Amino acid sequence: MNFASDNGSGVAPEIMSALAAVNDGAVPGYGADAYTQEACDRLSDVFERDVTVFLVATGTAANALNLAAITQPHGAVFVHERAHVHTDECGAPEFFMHGAKLLPLAGEHGKLTPAAVEQGLDGFAQGIVHHPQAQAVSLSQVTECGTVYSVAEIEALTALAKSHSLRVHMDGARFANALVSLGCSPAEMTWKAGVDVLSFGATKNGAMGVEAVIVFDEGLAADLPFMRKRAGQLLSKGRFLGAQMAAYLTDDLWLNMAGHANAMAALLAAGIEKLPGARLRHPVQANQLFAVLPKPAHKALVAAGAAYYPWEREPDGISVRLVTSFCTPAEEVEEFLSIAANAL
């Protein structure tokens, strides 16, 4: 029963096979190979337009490169106070941005609101030389509370952002999970809604280790080749990143895997809601679930070997995070729920 992280899962068999399939022969290094080109082409297909793509090894790098592409060193980026870029990347964005600031804002269920951004702007009047210059907004889709912005919510944020000349970054570490949740198109959830740059995750959803920096406004991409290399993120045997991403996007593999993970989370959520004394802390809209469990249920689960993390503090029980993945078996969900139920 592993609900600790989607990172704890292995690699989808289709993706593992793709690695072996591209192994033969000599090909150009550093992403100048045909497999990487194929990955880029597929991403342009997925987004229904030409996009500029830079494959990298980690989500941290994708986020940090994207933020650095839209923020100057004397700039600042509005983020949710629980944003992964703010709390869980050991300062990588600030490193890549050469010291630009992340300005944390509050917001229910992990979501930024136009009102919060507007209030944030109050304290950092643009154009005044003393203030760090607000230049961007970063939102996580899926959020760090497991919720998903609706397209309208994204559009409201980007509209405000653009009216203040702020660029918009989307941290899509769980992009597929959000997409499947909303049922819209990738284009609708991103550039059509005003997103400028996107971290397109694949690792958490069945890849081995590949994420895409995706730039919708080509003008923002000019320096990224150098920034990626300088960050140690230009892999020499680039074919193996390209092959992962191409396979990920083939035959709806990515959507099917995300769909499964979301379904398992929904199943889990439905069961937890029925447990006496348990509650969900946030709406469950993708593959992450934040709940408060009664102590006896928690004890029984831990004793049975269930893996998951405690998460923040709540007064009325054990606050936990549960994550499902592309390969979470329904049986594990059922087992989890039954152990919890029996303990109460």
Neighbours of 218 (CB within 10 A): 10
Write out the binding residues for a copy of itself, residues 98-137 only, by CB under 8 A. Answer: 98-104, 122-124, 129-133
Write out the binding residues for a copy of itself, residues 220-279 only, by CB under 8 A. Answer: 223, 225-237, 239-240
The residues, any chain, with a CB within 8 Å of residue 20's CB and separated by 6 or more, are none
Task: Choose, by CB under 8 A, the member of 51, 53, 56, 170 that binds a copy of itself.
Answer: 56
> Considering the rule CB under 8 A, would residue 10 count as an interface residue with a copy of itself?
yes
| Pairing outcome for strands 167-172 and 101-105 | unpaired
> Considering the rule CB under 8 A, would residue 329 count as an interface residue with a copy of itself?
no
Minimum CB distance to a copy of itself, residue 103 (Å): 8
Minimum CB distance to a copy of itself, residue 145 (Å): 14
Per-residue binding letters, 295-324, with a copy of itself (x by CB under 8 A): ------------x----xx-----------
Stretch that binds a copy of itself, among 41-49, 69-77, 256-264, 279-287 (CB under 8 A): 69-77
| Residue with tokens 């986020």, as numbered in its chain | 63
Using the CB atoms, write b or e for 137-174: b if 16+ within 10 Å.
bbbbbbbbbbbbbbbebbbbbbebbeeeebbbbbbbbb
Minimum CB distance to a copy of itself, residue 169 (Å): 15
CB 290, CB 282: distance < 8 Å: yes
Return the number of the residue (182 or 224) whose C-beta is nearest a copy of itself.
224
Write out the binding residues for a copy of itself, residues 18-37 only, by CB under 8 A. Answer: 19-20, 22-30
> Considering the rule CB under 8 A, would residue 95 count as an interface residue with a copy of itself?
yes
User: What sign has the CA pseudo-torsion 228, 229, 231, 232?
Assistant: positive
Residue type, 159: A
> Considering the rule CB under 8 A, would residue 87 count as an interface residue with a copy of itself?
yes
Minimum CB distance to a copy of itself, residue 308 (Å): 11
Stretch that binds a copy of itself, among 53-61, 141-149, 189-197, 250-258 (CB under 8 A): 53-61
User: What sign has the CA pseudo-torsion 260, 262, 264, 266?
Assistant: negative
CB 171, CB 210: distance < 8 Å: no
Write out the binding residues for a copy of itself, residues 174-213 only, by CB under 8 A. Answer: 203-204, 208-209
Minimum CB distance to a copy of itself, residue 254 (Å): 16
Q: At what angle do helices 330-343 and 253-274 cross, to 10 degrees?
A: 10
> Considering the rule CB under 8 A, would residue 57 count as an interface residue with a copy of itself?
yes
Distance from C-alpha of 274 to C-alpha of 256, rounded to nearest angstrom: 27
Task: Choose, by CB under 8 A, the member of 61, 112, 145, 337 that binds a copy of itself.
Answer: 61
Helix (H, G, I), strand (E, B) or coil at 289: strand
Q: What Å distances lie between residue 26 and 32, 71, 104, 149, 309, CA to CA?
A: 12, 38, 47, 44, 44
Determine the size of the site formed for a copy of itself (CB under 8 A): 83
Return the number of the residue (23 or 342) whose C-beta is nearest a copy of itself.
23
